[in-house]
Structure 1
Amino acid sequence: MSAKMLNERDLSFMLYELFDVEKLITRERFKDHDKESFNAAVDTAKVIAEKYFLPIRKKIDQCEPTFDGSKVTMIPEIKPAIDSVIQAGLAAPASDYDAGGMQLPEIVANTVNAYLIAAASTTLGYVALTNANCNLIEAHGSEKQIKTWVKPMREGRFMGTMAMTEPEAGSGLADLTTTAIKQDDDYYLISGNKIFISGGDHELSDNIVHLVLGRVKGAPKGIKGITLFIVPKYLVNDDTSLGQRNDVNLTGLFHKMGGRGQTSTALNFGEKGGAIGYLVGEENMGLTYMFHMMNEARIMVGSSAAITAMTGYQYSLDYAKERRQGRLLSCKDPKSTPVNIIQHPDVRRMLLTQKAYAEGAWSLCLFGSLLSDNIKTAENKEERQQAQFLLDFLTPMIKSWPSEWGPKANSLAIQVLGGHGYINEHPVEMFYRDNRLNPIHEGSTGIQSLDLMTRKISTKNSAGYIALLQLMQNTIEKATGIKQLASCANELNNAIAILELTTKKVLDASSVECADLVFSNSVTYLDMFGHIVISWLWLKQGMSAIIGLAKTPHQEDKEFYLGKLQAMKFFYRIELPKTYLWASIVENIDDTHFAMQEAWF
């Protein structure tokens, strides 16, 4: 069956109606752009996705990379597909012209990536992680490091990774044991083991530049003693041509449930005495620097989860419009023609739920991208600072909400197809497997919830928390005056009031009660807060739809806007009420699972 990857009308709605990205072209950085150039970049990505990635999507899933003890082998079609992205300038479309980028706004670049993610899934991770690697070195590295490592990565000759996780430490970075010993001529010898390193070895580029967290001999214990190093697979000469092989070795590949286009590796550093590594910035500041890349990666993860949810929704929607099966309960004629399954109430329920989750998640990710643009290019310092507060605060939700609710949407896509959804004749089961990684990597949902509850709420005198509440209140004030939206605005206002009360009770309790108990319901708090933020974004989508309807659009657009309003109504009637139960659990410091003893399981 032929199905669209994504709904082009929805991508356009998000960019130009919901977030009004055309206003960005008045800023100096984006003055060369207009709506035509934005659309041209998105169209180019769509062409590459359809030409190079979509035809091999199933083959990539079925033929995962292998390692023979010497080198990694993957299907040959992956390299020309990756090269096509780089050659089109889409590996880092938001980067400076001088760096080979298009200098697009981040929000447009994220939309450009949407088609590539929809067709390539994690295979796009090779270029995405390389871009994030470059951004970190540009922000914290030396001029020499930028010239030596960033330039060839931007050109596509080298690729990059981040290497944090260790077999024993896992997410507990304070316990990492990779060591670094300083040498006389300004380099370090690195020894240690890293696992789950995405893109850690392959034959797609001449070199791989690893950003490695380690501990210099004599450094403080815990996260305060972590340092960041550039550790390449191959050393390079002054002209960036390849030199000798560094002491970095692949010991094996992990075979994943999904996302099989990108290698997941176990790497040994220093088997033969120490891998040569170059200090980034200052010693013992490594985790601070790495968070630059980690936070970027977290937004990438959220975006990937949202896009995969939208891709599954679109496929199941197209299937439901074509698949004939059964008759409505109201039909008593067994000889009548079976109906398209989209007419069955339960199928509509599943499709509408997917739409609400997927498009709500995508709006959150695009809002995060817009905040990133404002941090860099807003006209005054106050706006830039406000955007920074908001993005810092929202990052746990941008990463986690799409990652948790996106796979739920993909699960429903499988259910819409029934038995056909569970077999690989259709890609919806693959979408689910690809998306299931997203709640785990770049900081699991539990880690993100603790970050939100124990740090982000109170950081900088709660600046991000306060700024977000004010933004939501501003929307409520506007929506209250719109007849079709007034009831939703009132419900959101009530939910925010409960959120504020719950937050206060938790913070007050944390000063007098056991912290482990108080924060044991942090994931529930993250769910509650995330649902309220998505409700706010659906209200904003509803406002944009009302504006669109007021312009007396043609029939297809009218139906699009009515669909937006119905998805908003669904979220307010079915999803937002869940936050009341979650609030009760959190504010009462419920100990049901905390009190469960190890011996009782």
Structure 2
Amino acid sequence: MGGNVRQTLEFMMYDWLQIEDLCRRERYAMHNRETFNSVLDVSEKIAQEQFAPLNRLTDAQEPEYVDGSVRLPDGVAQALRAYTDAGLLAAGHDEQVGGMQLPYVIDMAANTFFAYSSISLSAFPMLTYANANLIMAHGTESQKKAFAIPQLEGRYFGTMCLSEPAAGSSLGNIATRAAPDGSAYEQDVLGPRYKIKGSKMWISGAEHELTENIVHLVLAKIPDDQGNVIAGPKGISLFVVPKFLPCADGGLNAERNDVVLTGLNHKLGYRGIPNTLLSFGDNGGAVGYRIGEPGQGLALMFHMMNEARVNVGMGATMLGYAGYQVSLDYARERRQGYLRGTKSDAQRHQQARLIEHPDVKRMLLAQKAISEGALALVLYCARLIDDKRTAGAEQRARAELLLELLTPIAKSWPSEWCLEANSLAIQVLGGAGYTRDFPVEQFWRDNRLNMIHEGTHGIQALDLLGRKVRLQDGAAFDLWAEQVRQTIGLASESEEFSAYGAQLAKHLHTLSALTRQSQQPEYEDLSVAHATPYMQAFGHVVIAWLWLQVAMAAKQDSHLDSAFVAGKFAAMQYFFAYELERVPAWLGLLEKADQTVLSMQEAWY
């Protein structure tokens, strides 16, 4: 990553979020800024030397289906081994299991380098980390030893198997079944043993040969006491289904489980990680071990997915940032056209650099405001995760509420707007940006997935407006709004920032009023129709709030370079002038009770 990206990352962590305060907590007492930076240094080095050189190669050479397994280009195994050998998969876990007990915000910051260098390769450890975290949180001691610890050590990788060919996001309709495995049901040391039968689709990171084993986390429906399948989400349980079966002592068995690769999906982007179709139980039933109690499948899986959603937002952010850096470098070097109003002979006869043209300045500033605003969002959410885990009881409860509310934003806002930033990067390069000679077209293709996976854009919007803003009778929304008002109060004390605080206050007032209105029974259908515009408006208010904090923090730090500070202030100005004023149009659809979408009939299409 460019020096300015690293500088921005460290500024946001240390100067804005004050993460060194975490070292006062018992869990992180062995750490300080020096140890945090050493983790960032190692991560940046591995990402630049191992991941970045493979980014274009793995995009051009897609995974292949060979003899029932996935073949990946040379170098992938070595790059991922460098990641795991550095201990980064276990970094956030206890020292007793080989971890470093790092704060989550440092964990995420370290992984920004890998997402920036190769988003698809970084997905292998991201999925594995989430898989292992779930088992460590909800598995038995024997399950942790057999399935989670080997993932933290990098010997196994993990997947999440939710979707099916006929049930994508509608998980209540999955058809995969799990039946108790006869005499082994209660006796197996690894927990209740089942036979799994069914098909799963869109499974990333499966059936490769990069690691000794692959741990699939599989959602399946179990029968009730009468042997009938329980309908809907209540019948869904969660199972560990390994590629190779473990021994009784938790070691690895050579016996292959009944899991078969039936095909690969050929994707627009994210080509470096295979996306597979899997069949479970074609030859009698795949062995699976239940995690948690019967019927807890969705609740447990969302433990994994909520952190994964923040990580999706981080990945989208770094793709936006990568495109910004490429287009910035190109604009500084490329000469094309002449500036209007030039007076000297030299200016009239020498073409201007792209970065001197006002419309190119606009596109670069838009990318900066979007990608750095998104980075502030995901780092803020990562800090909330740390507070949720390690703060005192009151602060922990507040962090949990805020995180519940902001998770749909953390996933969706970077996914939508950093994709727009990637589009602007292509535009800055012009025709060159539309070719594969430059990586910006790949960044756009890679980023297009992020609005879809881990819960589509529309699902995040429905979750936000239909559930999250209603949490505890609106307590989560009210808590967040109070945080925004505190920032506005600080801005009002500064002549330089007071106008921006007043502008933000106006939009917060409208958002709050329409949020309350949307909860009325007569607005239920309208709320569904306008959930996505509402989420766009909410997200823009959140980013404006964070930008105001970031810009004020930059202005207050006398140790920062003046150009760095001026850049942060200009990006905030841009966001307030160009982006925040979109909010009234989005919220206006709810305010006016617009019926355009609801009144549309199928025949009219």
Smaller-chain TM-score range?
A: over 0.9
Alignment correspondent of 1:348 = 361
Alignment correspondent of 1:112 = 110
Cα deviation per residue 1:164-185 (whole Å; 9 max; x = unaligned)? 0000011001111100111232
CA distance in 2, matches of 1:176, 1:286: 12
Aligned equivalent of 1:383, options 369, 374, 395: 395
Cα deviation per residue 1:472-527 (whole Å; 9 max; x = unaligned)? 1111111110111000000111101000111111111xx135x3343211000000
**Alignment pair present for 1:293 and 2:304:** yes
Alignment correspondent of 2:190 = none
Alignment correspondent of 2:153 = 155
Contact 2:320 2:419 in 1 (8 A): yes
Structure 1 residue 91: Cα displacement: 2.3
Structure 1 residue 48: Cα displacement: 0.5
1:124-203 to 2 correspondences below 5 Å? 124-183=122-181, 184-186=183-185, 187-203=193-209
Task: Give the aligned length.
Answer: 590
Structure 1 residue 573: Cα displacement: 1.0
Alignment correspondent of 2:92 = 94
CA distance in 2, matches of 1:472, 1:206: 49
Q: Which amino acid aligns with 2:246?
A: V
Alignment correspondent of 1:449 = 461
CA distance in 1, matches of 2:522, 2:114: 50
1:10-409 to 2 correspondences below 5 Å? 10-183=8-181, 184-186=183-185, 187-217=193-223, 218-237=228-247, 238-331=249-342, 333=345, 336-378=349-391, 380-409=392-421
Partner-residue secondary structure (3-state), 2:349: coil
Cα deviation per residue 1:47-93 (whole Å; 9 max; x = unaligned)? 10111111221111100100024221111200000000000112242
Structure 1 residue 100: Cα displacement: 2.3
Contact 2:465 2:527 in 1 (8 A): no
TM-score (norm 1): 0.96
Structure 1 residue 141: Cα displacement: 1.0
**Alignment pair present for 1:563 and 2:567:** yes
Contact 1:69 1:251 in 2 (8 A): no
Contact 2:264 2:274 in 1 (8 A): yes
Alignment correspondent of 1:573 = 577
Partner-residue secondary structure (3-state), 1:512: helix
Q: Which amino acid aligns with 2:578?
A: I
Partner-residue secondary structure (3-state), 2:535: helix
Structure 1 residue 243: Cα displacement: 3.2
CA distance in 2, matches of 1:462, 1:502: 13
CA distance in 1, matches of 2:96, 2:377: 30
**Alignment pair present for 1:516 and 2:525:** yes
Contact 1:167 1:193 in 2 (8 A): yes
Partner-residue secondary structure (3-state), 1:437: helix
Contact 1:219 1:284 in 2 (8 A): no
Cα deviation per residue 1:546-574 (whole Å; 9 max; x = unaligned)? 202xx2x57xx101101111111111111
Structure 1 residue 330: Cα displacement: 1.3
CA distance in 2, matches of 1:567, 1:445: 26
Q: Which amino acid aligns with 1:270?
A: G
Note closer, same or farther for the CA distance 1:6–1:132 as it changes in structure 2 (3 Å cut). farther
Contact 2:91 2:100 in 1 (8 A): yes
CA distance in 1, matches of 2:585, 2:526: 18
Give the fraction of aligned pairs with identical amino acids, expressed as a percent.
43
Contact 1:342 1:348 in 2 (8 A): yes
Q: Which runs of 5 or more residues in structure 2 are unaligned?
A: 186-192
Aligned equivalent of 1:468, options 473, 476, 480: 480
CA distance in 2, matches of 1:190, 1:48: 39
Cα deviation per residue 1:234-284 (whole Å; 9 max; x = unaligned)? 101124122311110000111111111111000000101211111110001
CA distance in 1, matches of 2:539, 2:155: 40
Q: Which amino acid aligns with 1:299?
A: V
Poorly superposed stretches of 4+, deviation over 4 Å: 332-335
**Alignment pair present for 1:543 and 2:543:** no
Partner-residue secondary structure (3-state), 2:216: strand
Partner-residue secondary structure (3-state), 2:215: strand
CA distance in 2, matches of 1:319, 1:415: 11
CA distance in 2, matches of 1:77, 1:343: 40
Note closer, same or farther for the CA distance 1:92–1:306 as it changes in structure 2 (3 Å cut). farther
TM-score (norm 2): 0.96
CA distance in 2, matches of 1:65, 1:240: 29
CA distance in 1, matches of 2:86, 2:214: 21
Q: Which runs of 5 or more residues in structure 1 are unaligned?
A: none
Structure 1 residue 159: Cα displacement: 0.8
Contact 1:45 1:115 in 2 (8 A): yes
Structure 1 residue 424: Cα displacement: 1.2
